[in-house]
Structures are given as structure tokens and as C-alpha cells.
Structure 1
Amino acid sequence: MKKLHLVLAASAAAFAFSGAPAMAERGTDGDLKIIFWQAVSTMNPYLSGGTKEVYAASMVIEPLARYDETGGLVPMLAAEIPTVENGGVAEDLKSITWKLKPDLKWSDGTPVTANDAVFTWKYCTAPDGGCAQGAYFEGVTNVEAVDDQTIKVSFADAKPYPYSAFVGAQSPLIQEAQFKDCLGIKAPECTSANFGPIGTGPFVVNEFKPNDVVTFTANQNYRDASKPAFASVTLKGGGDAASAARSVLETGEFDYAWNMQVEPEILAQMMAAGKGQLVTAFGTQVERIDLNAFAVDPSLGDKRSTAEAGPHPALSDPAVRRALSIAIDREIIDEAGYGEAGQPTCNILPAPDIYVSTNVDWCLTQDIEGANKLLDDAGWVMGSDGVRAKDGVRLSFLYQTSTNSVRQGTQALVKDMWSQIGVEVELRNIAASVFFGGDPASPDTFQKFYADVQMYTNNFDGTDPEKYMAAWMCDKIPSPANGWQGENIVRYCNPEYDALVAELGRTSDLNERAAIAIKLNDMLSNDGAQIPLIHRGQLSAHSVTLEGVKMNAWDSELWNVADWSRKK
């Protein structure tokens, strides 16, 4: 696994972008057909933390810089990567200054200016706005337009790793002219802008049908006149992972299928048709079970799953959280659902290597006897029905996840394992387009978390974990006040954790940064905020006729879609 090297210590030359050879003419390869079995619900990644939204939007709206397939930073809208050596990062590390590439245009033909970056910061930090990517602006005190081409980002403290705001697919620039009336509480109401953002990427939205199909056409104002090779893109959503895989690997109906969360033996059978190939890369993706810190009884009404509801009556007990984790046999889950595309883990932060902890490996060995003893010692008494209880509270949990055969298989395995320690489980699955959709009116989103436990995967852009670990800070908890946005899905709140995140932001030495990140990881696992299960490789499929795909575990998988073409 590639180790992180601080960008501040590297030369600017290390970030030179080496793309595919220039194509002869834009739009000569017809329609690119992509399938996401988790359908896209918005094209605004600031209103959804869902990977499907981030990836779809990455074809349209772009950041100043992003990460290539090796995890290295490459400029996108920026002319170069700022460093201390080239003067872009201040000597005191309290600001970073970006220069835009010359003559950049939005897809409507208007110029991209530094004011658009200033506005994007204001948009994501507006009161009551509920920005899903708020951690990217953690510690930012100001964003200013020095001139039309120059953006200065200032920090409250010295920021040894300043590449957060406007870096990666989760933190793109949006156009001020389009979103100027969409600040704060008005953000979700701007349907036209959220479904069809004006961007700088290789494609523009032609038609958006929520949770169904998005069609795109080539951006005629894209900065490279020979790209993209495809005249249009059809992004189909829905179905299931197996049917999506089949549409590429067996029938050839689609060119690219994202997220092949399909049993290994089924994929092997599909590959025999010779129509497509699998591509994978291990990054920071971890399948995990969230344990809700707050009470979720439906009788609580609007207080449900919020601080006003009070602590969860069972999951607030550390013994319960620990017992749930060690009762799970991760090897069986990996073998049944992931094979070579997964490995058991106890870490929320599984990569790069320098950040990998071995301090929490206690969870790797299933221990039913130990889990039962923990619950016995904590006063949870086994009932005649096989379910433990204490002070009138039963260990009976609603366990939800998105609809997918591998996830439903994992649910069934975990339910059986937990039954062996006196825990009753009700299983529920929700369509991925709804579960990850971020609709504040829906009761079924993973942000709203109207269940005791839930399961999904998550990861972060790039190789530095600072902004990712900031997601578990107390002020990142979703609630009605922020439109149920915020990255702290588990509602974890620990002042010591928050202080460590702040310390990470002030630390420049790579080894010291790694030590702090490991402490943060260990705190999450030892406190039982979440139960890590499987370190997943990102596994997708593409047609044998599709060229230019560079599988990327550090950014959007569609990060270089402008370079894709049809094999002649």
C-alpha cells in the first residue's frame, strides 16, 4: 500500500499531470453507458454524503485539485499544486494560495473566478445549511479572492496539511451565479441547481430523473478542445449489484458498472462470457456497523435519534458495544461476501500503511464465550426467550442497511452470531437510492439513522486522514437543525477526540501525524462508536472495448472520464 508523503516536502514537479494522449476530436465515440445499481438522487455532493452522488457529480463539477490513481495530488482547475517551495503555502502554514488555470469557463460560457471559490466556502459553512462535506472546511477562517484568478484560504492555526478545502471529488467548486439564492436553509429547495449544476467538467447534465437516469452531453466549453471522446453519457440507476455486473460482464449492454458488491463465485461465472473485466484498488473503504448513541424509539417523535432523546438505553453500555463486536466472525463474512476483494479489519482507518493500527486487533478473533461473560458481568440477564434484559430494557435491535445480496447475507450471519449472546435482531433493508439519498424529509436515510444499528461502507478522498477523522467531532452530528446533514452518523461525541483532531491539524511531522491518527482510530474502535468489519477493495467492471480507465481508490472512480474512449 502506498505510504503518504507530506506534499509540503515534495517538489512541485511531482504533481505534474500525466493524462492520456490527446484525442482527435470531441464526441466521436457516441454514448458512454454507465450503471450505478445505487441510483443517484442529487448532483450536489454538498447535500449528500453518498458515494454515488459524489461520483456522478464529479463528471460535471470539479475541485481545484484531486488525487490520481496512485494517491498523488494533481491540479484540476488550479494551475499547480501550492507548496512552501513555490510560495503557494505560507511559511507559517496558516494559509494556502491557489492560482486558477487561465481562461477557465463554466459550461454556460461564463468565466470561472476566485469569487466562485469564496462562494462555495460560504455555501458549505452557512448557518442551518447542513453541508454534508463540512469537515473539508474544518479550521478555515476565511476564503478570499485576491484577484479573479487567485484564491487564498486562511486557517485558524498552522495547517501542515492544507489540502482539504476544494481538494478531491467531495469538495468541488460550484458556480456563485447559479447557487447565490441557495444559502443555508434554502439549499435543499434549489432543485434546478441541485439536479443540474453548471460545471467545468467534461460533461453537462442534460436531464436528471431522481433515483432513475441521468443523461449528460459533452461540455462544449471544456478546457481541452479534444475531450471528452464521448458525445454523451447515460447513467442508469437502480436494480441490484448482480444485475449491474451482468450488464457489463455478460451482456455488454453497459460500458461501466460501479461497486460490484457481488459474491465472488457469481462474478467468476459472469467473467467467463469475455465481455468485460473487473478492476479493483484498495484504498480506505471499510464496511462497518454503526451503533446509535441516541435513543430511537418511535414514541420519541421528532426527538428520535437526537441528543434530546437521551442516550441509547442499551448501546450506551460499553459492555454491550464490546460484546457485539467480539461476537462477530469477520473471516466468515469476508469469505462469504468479499473473497480477495476484502480483508477483516478492526480499523475505521485502514490505509495508507503508516496509519494502520494493530492496537485494536482484539476484534479479529470471534469470542462468543467472552461476549457472554461481558454481558453477564454487566447485569444483562438471559431471559427464557433467549434475549437478555436489564432494568426492563431488552437487547433487541433494529438492524438496517441498503438492499444488496451481500449486505443481506452479512445481516443474516450477524443476526445468527448475535443470537448466540442473547441479542434479538430485526433486519431491515432499504433501497440504496433512498438510504444514501440525504433527503431530509425521508425517515429512511442513513444520516437520520432511525434504527439501533446500521451497516454500510465509507471512505475518504486522498491519502491524508485529517479531514476524515474530523467527521466524528461533536459538531458534525446530523440533526433537524442542520437538515440531517453532517458526517458524524453515529452521534459520537468525545471532547478528548475533538482535541486530538485539533492537535492533528497542528502537527507537521509525518510520524507524529500517524501516531495521532492511530489514536483517533483506536478511540473509535475501543469506545464502540462503530464496529469495523471488512476493509473492502473498490471493485468495478468495465467493457473490454472501453479504454483509459484508471481505477482510483483515492478519489472518484470517474476522476479521468474525460480520457475514456472506445477501442477502435
Structure 2
Amino acid sequence: MKLKTALLGAAASVAVTGAWADGHEGERGRDGQLNIIYWQAPSTLNPFLSGGTKEMESASLIIEPLVRFDSQGEMVPWLAESIPTVEDGSVAEDLTSITWTLKEGVLWSDGTPFTSEDVVFTWQYCTHPEGGCAQASYFDGVSDVVAVDDRTVRVEFSAPKPFPYTAFVGSESPIIQKAQFEECIGARAPECTDANFGPIGTGPFVVTDFRPNDVVTYEANENFREEGKPAFASVNFKGGGDALAAARSVLETGEFDYAWNLQLAPEVLDQLASAGNGQVVTAFATSVERLHLNQTDPSPSLGEERATMAHPHPFLTDPIVGQALSMAIDRDLIVEVGYGPAGQVTCNVLPAPEAYASTANDDCKTQDMEGAKALLEENGWTDEDGDGVREKDGVRLSVLYQTSTNAVRQDTQAIIKQLWEELGVEVELRNIDASVFFGGDPGSPDTFQKFYADIEMYTNNFAGVDPEAYMANWRCNEIPSPETQWQGSNIQRFCSEEYDALVDQMATTSGLEARAELAKQMNDMIMQSYSIIPLVHRGNPSAHANSLGGVQMNDWDAEIWNIKDWYRIDGS
């Protein structure tokens, strides 16, 4: 995909939205109810308290950022009037600030004005030292956010920032209402159930009922700024179940209009689509199915210090072990069995855009079981007692490998388990209901952030096309811990001062080639630590009914980023 918005050196590309593609127009709410199914059910509607995609997606109907990325990865003004540039003076010439002008007349769903004070407050909320914000990396380098007047807000940086479009940009960095959340800051954030389950927003819909890990009911926001939108009067956003049931509910039974993240074998999707009730749509961007190797000890015997930096993992901090585990994996087989044309082998956690994709780790594309065995042997990991499990200094290569409940993921687990056992590693498999695994409940032992296992597998990506904020996910200060209510994006607990320095350097580096080189260095450092083992660069397949118009599948932002433009096709 062409990288059009990565640098200030190029003019910001602005897509035009708001017009119906086919002239479809009318009164708000004219098309009745929209039925959506996400088989991973949201546990909160506050995406700052969960790193899960399902929380971000379900919240995107309600709360919005200043700018979104469209289906081509282009920046689109959303709550902002325009995209600031150096040329128009709204980005400082020394790149130490960016000034946003808010759209005129935007109201919160409760009828009160949306102002720059809400933007300032959102920054204060997400960066509070006593809180845990899952999206804190979007505010890296921000020294202050200043309300110049009601419709003007200035984001100031501690050093020149060549790519200033991070804070309040994209669906992972939306704006929350100060009046609703001002008593919910810091350590109190998870306690504000009413606000977290029913945020007041500027988006096209408002929440009328939320049952965690089950269903969200929305109705059209009567104060939404665009006349005649949304077309749907209400949304039934059902969560739970599995990908197969979700696909069938759209493609076979017609019970739902839209089904998300259909991680199913390609032949299964083809068979379901043949019924003719709907169509499968797939978007490729930066999504990678990967293994995270816990760099801390998840042993229950450690009590409250379990999976914290106080206790390094007994063997996964050794990159030799991770390298052998990676070498033993047949990625081509995983793609063939689980993804088909919607997947390709990758050796990088940052596989795209092309300018940022490293080739330094491409050896992983070819399985080398004998090489993996030899590597372990040479480094003292041997099976002395003949029980099939390698040991060294009394430590056994025995892992608990967990992921969410999903047919493709269980197939992948089974393939990897068989290969690792051939390598001499004892493997216990565990799968957890996706609504729980990707939930943000700090009291649950089963969330991917707590990581009470040795290895876990899931997919992640980032909003937009510039990877600066994404690569900042692996800073040391992004490690989840009890002190952050287990929020944080550095799930595997990788920590390197050298890496943190590269993140800082990228934040002040201009020029596509120089930024790409830094991104590749960071990617390679993580890959060669073997704290992440990438498997598949995957597309995100979803399905929608033939009667649903306006859908623009998107993997650069929230998948349903333009739901305000969806409508029922006449005669359907």
C-alpha cells in the first residue's frame, strides 16, 4: 500500500466523506435496526481500559478521535476541521507543537458542547501516573495539551516530532467527555462502572443497554452532527459464540447484517458464502498472528508477584530457546490449514507498509527442525533421562501455551504442539473464551494482559500507516503490572534501554528512509530477542448481508469506522 501520510514532508491527504455513494439519503433512523455480531464480546466500552480490539470497535460507535484513517490508510478529519500542516501554520515550523481546530457545533450526545477542554482532559486521563491506560503510547512525547479557546487545542511535544499525528488520531485514541469522567481519573478509572459501560459520546450512536461479555444496544444519537445520519435507528451488537456461528448468522441464516473477524478456514467461508445471502470482505494492513513469549515467570507460587518484572522467566529470556521454537514451526502449513489466500508467512511483527518491512529475519520462512534440535543441544538443552523433554540445570522445557477459543487458533496450537514436542518441549494447551481473554477486567486471571502462561497467541495491528506509536508499545514503561491495573501494551514484558532510545529517536526523526530504518531496527531487535515469534501476516475477513450498503472494510482503523454511512439497500 502506498504510504501517503507518513511524513510532514508530503501534503496531508484528506479524503472526502459524508456523501452517500449512490445518492441514498433520508431521515435519521429510517432503516430500522442494524444487527452486528462480534463473536468476541466487549467487556467495557472504555477502550482506554482494555487493549482488546472488540472494546475499541464497540466504543467507536460512541466516542471519536479528531482524525480517522480511511480504508486506504488516508487521514480523514473527524472531530477536527482539517488536517494541520506546517504550510498552514498549524504545525510549528520547529515541529514542537500541532494545533487542532475542532469542528463547529459538535455536541455530546447529552446536548452539551464538545470543546477543547474535553481534549485536554482525555490526555490527563490517559497519562495520569496512578492510572493504567491501554493506549498510553499515543501520547509519547507529549509534554502538554493546551486549550487555546473552545475550538482550538494545541498539543505540545517535549522535542521536535516530525510525525505529530498520534495523540487523538485513530480509533485507539478517541476523546472522552470531561464532565462524565473527571471523577474517574487515576486509580479510580476502573471503578467508574456507569461511565465505562455507558460513555457519553459525539458519535452516531448512544448506548441504551450494555451487558458485559454479551450484548450492547445502541440507538441513533439525535445530536449527531450530520443530517440524516445514521440511517439506522438502533444497533443490536451481539457478542460471544464463535467465528463459525457468526459467519453462519450472516451468510446462511440472515439473522445478522454484519459479522466481524471470521477467522475460519478458507474453504468454510467459501461454502457459507455460496448460499448467496451475503459476501465475505477482507482487508489487509498490518495484522500479524504471533506468539508472545513471557519474559517473566507466571508460576502461581509467586503470588502477587506472578508475571511481574520481579521474577524473570526461567528459560524464555534465553533467545536461544525462542530461536529454536521459531525454527521448528512450519508456517507454510499454518497458512495452508488456517488462512489460505487471506494469510502469508511473515517473520516480522511490523510487516507493512512495505517501506517499513525488514528482510533481516526471513530465515524463519523455512522450517528447520534439525537445526533447531542442534541449536538446543549445542547450548546444553538435552534429554538425559529419555522422557522426551529437554532439560538444563534442572529446568525442564515445559510450557503452557494459551490463546482464545477459535477453530483456526486451536488448529494452529495443535500443529505447533506436535512440532515442539518433536523438538523436545513439553506443551500444555489452553484456550480461553475470547470475551474473557481479550477483556480488561483487572480481577480476572485469564486476560492476555495478565499473561498467566508461558506463551500466548493472538493477532494485533495498529491504526494508520505510520508505526511510531505502535513500535512504542514495547517500551519498558508499557509493561502491564498490578500498579497499572494490568494495562499496558508490552504484553511479553520485553525491556531494553537500547530499544527505548530508538523509540525516542524515531519520535524526532524526519525523512521516510531514516524513519523506516529506525522502525526496522526496532522490529529486528524484538524479533532477535525472540520475545515475539511472528507467524502469519493475515487479512481480516468479515461478512455482511447483501442488503447492507455503505460498508468500507478497513484494517487501518476501526473496521466499522464509517458506520454512520451504512444504510439498508432499497428493496432488500
Counterpart CA distance in 2 for 1:6 and 1:46 is 25
Counterpart CA distance in 2 for 1:4 and 1:128 is 38
Checking the alignment, whether the CA contact within 8 Å between 1:128 and 1:483 is kept in structure 2 is: no
- How far does the alpha carbon of each residue in 1:506-550 deviate from its partner, in whole angstroms, 9 at most, with x for none? 111111100110111111111112000000101110000000000
Counterpart CA distance in 2 for 1:45 and 1:447 is 14
Counterpart CA distance in 2 for 1:28 and 1:5 is 36
Choose the corresponding residue for 2:305, options 294, 303, 315.
Answer: 303
Counterpart amino acid of residue 196 in structure 1? G
Q: Secondary structure at the match of 1:460?
A: coil
Checking the alignment, whether the CA contact within 8 Å between 1:7 and 1:83 is kept in structure 2 is: no
Q: Secondary structure at the match of 1:85?
A: coil
Q: Secondary structure at the match of 2:371?
A: helix
Q: Return the offset for 1:18.
A: 2.9
Structure 1 stretch displaced more, 383-392 or 408-417 = 383-392
**1:317-396 superposed matches below 5 A:** 317-382=318-383, 383-396=385-398
Q: Secondary structure at the match of 1:283?
A: coil
1:519 aligns with 2:521: yes
Quote the residue 1:11 is aligned against: 11
Checking the alignment, whether the CA contact within 8 Å between 2:16 and 2:76 is kept in structure 1 is: yes
Checking the alignment, whether the CA contact within 8 Å between 1:469 and 1:520 is kept in structure 2 is: yes
- How far does the alpha carbon of each residue in 1:297-354 deviate from its partner, in whole angstroms, 9 at most, with x for none? 111111110011x211111212101000010000000000000110010000011110
Q: Secondary structure at the match of 1:541?
A: strand
**1:177-216 superposed matches below 5 A:** 177-216=179-218
Checking the alignment, whether the CA contact within 8 Å between 2:317 and 2:531 is kept in structure 1 is: no
Counterpart amino acid of residue 307 in structure 1? M
**1:431-510 superposed matches below 5 A:** 431-510=433-512
Identical pairs, percent: 63
Q: Return the offset for 1:16.
A: 4.2
Counterpart CA distance in 1 for 2:543 and 2:417 is 31
Q: CA 1:352/1:4 → structure 2, altered by over 3 Å: closer, same or farther?
A: farther
Q: Secondary structure at the match of 1:32?
A: strand
Quote the residue 1:103 is aligned against: 105
Q: Secondary structure at the match of 1:9?
A: coil
**1:25-40 superposed matches below 5 A:** 25-40=27-42
Counterpart CA distance in 1 for 2:65 and 2:16 is 15
Counterpart CA distance in 1 for 2:4 and 2:89 is 22
Q: Return the offset for 1:25.
A: 1.0
Checking the alignment, whether the CA contact within 8 Å between 1:5 and 1:510 is kept in structure 2 is: no
Counterpart CA distance in 1 for 2:34 and 2:293 is 40
Quote the residue 1:418 is aligned against: 420
Q: Secondary structure at the match of 2:285?
A: strand
Q: Return the offset for 1:4.
A: 4.3
Q: Secondary structure at the match of 1:15?
A: coil
1:154 aligns with 2:156: yes
Counterpart amino acid of residue 360 in structure 1? N
Counterpart CA distance in 2 for 1:128 and 1:202 is 32
Counterpart CA distance in 2 for 1:533 and 1:63 is 31
- How far does the alpha carbon of each residue in 1:81-114 deviate from its partner, in whole angstroms, 9 at most, with x for none? 0010111100000000000000110000000000
Counterpart CA distance in 1 for 2:268 and 2:465 is 32
Q: Secondary structure at the match of 1:503?
A: helix
Counterpart CA distance in 2 for 1:87 and 1:80 is 12
Counterpart CA distance in 1 for 2:541 and 2:15 is 27
Quote the residue 2:49 is aligned against: 47
Q: Secondary structure at the match of 1:178?
A: helix
Counterpart CA distance in 1 for 2:541 and 2:265 is 12
Q: What is the Cα-based RMSD across aligned positions, in Å?
A: 0.9
Choose the corresponding residue for 1:407, options 406, 409, 423.
Answer: 409
- How far does the alpha carbon of each residue in 1:263-298 deviate from its partner, in whole angstroms, 9 at most, with x for none? 111111101100010111110100000000011111
Checking the alignment, whether the CA contact within 8 Å between 1:4 and 1:464 is kept in structure 2 is: no
- How far does the alpha carbon of each residue in 1:218-254 deviate from its partner, in whole angstroms, 9 at most, with x for none? 0000001210000000000000000000000111110
Counterpart amino acid of residue 278 in structure 2? G
Counterpart CA distance in 2 for 1:20 and 1:548 is 10
Q: Return the offset for 1:11.
A: 3.4
Q: Secondary structure at the match of 1:502?
A: helix
Counterpart CA distance in 1 for 2:175 and 2:360 is 39
Choose the corresponding residue for 2:290, options 272, 288, 293.
Answer: 288
Counterpart CA distance in 1 for 2:459 and 2:103 is 35
Checking the alignment, whether the CA contact within 8 Å between 1:291 and 1:452 is kept in structure 2 is: yes
Quote the residue 2:74 is aligned against: 72
Counterpart amino acid of residue 20 in structure 1? A
Give the TM-score, by structure 2 length. Answer: 0.98
Counterpart CA distance in 2 for 1:7 and 1:70 is 16
Checking the alignment, whether the CA contact within 8 Å between 1:4 and 1:354 is kept in structure 2 is: no
Counterpart CA distance in 1 for 2:268 and 2:166 is 39
Counterpart CA distance in 2 for 1:7 and 1:516 is 14
Q: Secondary structure at the match of 1:267?
A: helix
Choose the corresponding residue for 1:529, options 500, 510, 531.
Answer: 531
Counterpart CA distance in 2 for 1:35 and 1:293 is 35
**1:167-182 superposed matches below 5 A:** 167-182=169-184
Counterpart CA distance in 1 for 2:450 and 2:6 is 36
Structure 1: stretches of 5+ with no match in the other structure: none
Counterpart CA distance in 2 for 1:358 and 1:90 is 36
- How far does the alpha carbon of each residue in 1:459-490 deviate from its partner, in whole angstroms, 9 at most, with x for none? 00000000000000001000001100000001
Counterpart CA distance in 2 for 1:284 and 1:343 is 12
Counterpart CA distance in 2 for 1:249 and 1:258 is 12
Counterpart CA distance in 2 for 1:552 and 1:296 is 36
Structure 2: stretches of 5+ with no match in the other structure: none
Counterpart CA distance in 2 for 1:41 and 1:130 is 16
Counterpart CA distance in 2 for 1:342 and 1:560 is 25
Give the TM-score, by structure 1 length. Answer: 0.99
Counterpart CA distance in 1 for 2:218 and 2:167 is 27
Counterpart amino acid of residue 273 in structure 2? M
Q: Secondary structure at the match of 2:415?
A: helix
Structure 1 stretch displaced more, 379-388 or 477-486 = 379-388
Q: Secondary structure at the match of 2:544?
A: strand
Q: Secondary structure at the match of 1:307?
A: coil
